[in-house]
Structure 1
Amino acid sequence: MSGFEHHSTEREARSDLPGRDRRPDEGQRQDMLRRYLGAVAAVSAAHADEQSPRPKEPPPILHQDELAPAPLRVRDVMSVPAVSVPGETPFLEIVRTLSREHLGAVPVVDADDQVMGVVSESDLLAKAAVRAETSRPGPIRRLREHRLYEKSHGETAATLMTSPAITVHPSTPVADAAWLAARSRLKRMPVVDHRGRLVGVVSRIDLVRALVRDDAKIREEIETRIIRHVFLLDPGAFEVTVENGAVDVSGKVDGSLIPTLLESIEEIDDVVEVSDHLTAV
């Protein structure tokens, strides 16, 4: 992801967080989105690295206990069933569906449940604006906004929708879906099978939750994997707190172990910083 794309995506994330009526958990939510953007940027860098020419190397031979866990797939985090509307759905019924389901967009499907496109609040807003106009726009405005005016005269989901829809498959890795959502600035994406039929929907918050582990899971990994299994120490002798990815660790430990213990904690995914309050004995 280029610097411009990263800046644009981060700016959109901030625009989703209104400055007024600030929620008590707003700071945590902003931090979650920043960590999400960092994960997306890392995936984008990996994509670019994969496309760079490099000498072929034989694949490493891994033992069973060295095998990495399978990456999360869209099927693991998508919502089912997905709300959708048929192509012949009238304008007002689409409005009612979005309002009733508290959605900003829905997939439009044909008789075989194949996704034809997506109709969003933006598509409906243009239609509503044309309906509310009391005078015809001038020729310059009609020329400048030709496509918008053409679409706004539609009466059904099929004529109002944006097509083709950007979709993902159930087997798509979550990281790749997040990268696609960020680049396309989408909050929701239809999930389709190999025939293009709608099987679910995945939202940006679904991807955030999958990519960014919560503080409790980070703490569990520190206490179980790092302290107990790697360093063979008693987790009860330490106090570990995690807040928005920031770790604070205290306790008494052999001074020679402190540097490597802190380094191991810093290398855990989603840890943003480590505060050292360990006492050497």
Structure 2
Amino acid sequence: MHNTPHTVSDVMTRTVLALKTGATFKDVVKAMREWKVSALPVVDDGHRVVGVVSEADLLLKEEFRDGDPDGYARPRRPEDLAKAGARTAEELMTAPAVTVRSGASLAQGARIMARHRVKRLPVVDGDGVLKGIVSRGDLLGVFLRDDADLAREVRRAVVERLVPETPGAIRVEVRDGIVKLTGRFRETGLAPVAAHLARAVEGVVDVDCALSGPRRHLGLDPELPDGTGAVTSPGTPPG
């Protein structure tokens, strides 16, 4: 699996509890408590994800209880007031649900989580059918890859791709997920490309790039110093 790009389906939890739209308020509370989760997907009869119920949705009922004299005095969104009186998962849920496709990359999953500030995402197929759940911890697990495994993939995906004829000219070392690239390319412009490709390998923490271009041949470029520190001025005979 490490020799191909990781997708959300590689790391997601496939055994997942989902709520039907008609699940009662108490059913939702019991399910969250039993499964020790803070949110659950809501599905229709075709198992397509139609929404998500979170602990925050449930707590609105307590917040707007009649015994709280300030509950209704504070400005609130109409949907919050509606959820305070909800009896079923369909009335409680936030819709449409924020989901991620099973074939999405781990980076795409991470961006969706960050953008929507959620800790878990329902994973769906192309038809919106629930296939699993992915958490922040699932996405971060890729950084536990073995250094030797990372080094092998960097050599395959970077070095052998850029210099297939002379892969031994580039050395790859990995320690604690940090890749160090040393050696020389025939083309100077390949160094930043190599660093970019190495960072794209799943599980790489960072890249130290000490790559350089080919050595200059001073005899082929008369405008370069000859290494002795002496520069001959035009029209002046050598001493």
Identify whether the pair has TM-score above 0.5, normalized to the shorter chain.
Answer: yes
Give me the whole-angstrom Cα distance separating, in 2, the residues matched to 1:144 and 1:203: 30
| Displacement of 1:117 | 0.3
Confirm or deny that 1:147 pairs with 2:84. no
Query: For the structure 1 residues 222 and 175, does the alpha-carbon distance in structure 2 shift closer, same or farther, using more than 3 Å as the test?
Result: closer
Aligned to 2:67: 134
CA displacement 1:142-180 (0-9 Å, x = unmatched)? x43443122111011111111110122223333322222
Q: How many pairs are equivalent?
A: 190
Confirm or deny that 1:113 pairs with 2:47. yes
Query: For the structure 1 residues 148 and 111, does the alpha-carbon distance in structure 2 shift closer, same or farther, using more than 3 Å as the test?
Result: same
- Structure 2 contact 195–209 (Cα < 8 Å) conserved: no
Confirm or deny that 1:123 pairs with 2:57. yes
Aligned to 1:178: 110
- Structure 2 contact 150–174 (Cα < 8 Å) conserved: no
- Structure 2 contact 178–205 (Cα < 8 Å) conserved: yes
The residue type equivalent to 2:98 in the other structure is I
- Picking from 202, 205, 212, the partner of 2:134 is 202
Aligned to 1:42: none
* Matched-pair identity in %: 32
Confirm or deny that 1:218 pairs with 2:150. yes
Aligned to 1:83: 17
Give me the whole-angstrom Cα distance separating, in 1, the residues matched to 2:14 and 2:111: 22
Q: What is the DSSP-based 3-state SS (H/G/I as helix, E as strand, rest coil) of the residue aligned with 2:64?
A: helix
CA displacement 1:32-52 (0-9 Å, x = unmatched)? xxxxxxxxxxxxxxxxxxxxx
The residue type equivalent to 2:49 in the other structure is V
Alignment of 1:240-259 (within 5 A): 242-243=175-176, 245-246=177-178, 259=183
- Structure 2 contact 28–89 (Cα < 8 Å) conserved: yes
- Structure 2 contact 151–174 (Cα < 8 Å) conserved: yes
- Structure 1 contact 78–203 (Cα < 8 Å) conserved: yes
Query: For the structure 1 residues 272 and 127, does the alpha-carbon distance in structure 2 shift closer, same or farther, using more than 3 Å as the test?
Result: same
| Displacement of 1:230 | 2.9
Give me the whole-angstrom Cα distance separating, in 1, the residues matched to 2:174 and 2:131: 40
Give me the whole-angstrom Cα distance separating, in 1, the residues matched to 2:174 and 2:108: 31
CA displacement 1:174-202 (0-9 Å, x = unmatched)? 33222222211222111223332212122
| Displacement of 1:105 | 0.7
CA displacement 1:90-114 (0-9 Å, x = unmatched)? 2222122112212111101122222
Q: What is the DSSP-based 3-state SS (H/G/I as helix, E as strand, rest coil) of the residue aligned with 1:231?
A: helix
- Picking from 157, 179, 183, the partner of 2:89 is 157
CA displacement 1:227-276 (0-9 Å, x = unmatched)? xx93289x9xx9x6622x34689xxxxxxxx6449x79966332525599
Question: More helix per residue: 1 or 2?
Answer: 1
Confirm or deny that 1:95 pairs with 2:32. no
**For the aligned residues, what is the CA RMSD?**
3.6
Confirm or deny that 1:230 pairs with 2:167. yes
- Structure 2 contact 41–52 (Cα < 8 Å) conserved: yes
Give me the whole-angstrom Cα distance separating, in 2, the residues matched to 1:223 and 1:70: 14
- Structure 1 portions without partners, runs of 5+: 1-68, 250-257, 277-281
Give the TM-score normalised by the residue count of structure 2: 0.63
Give the TM-score normalised by the residue count of structure 1: 0.55
- Structure 2 contact 63–71 (Cα < 8 Å) conserved: no
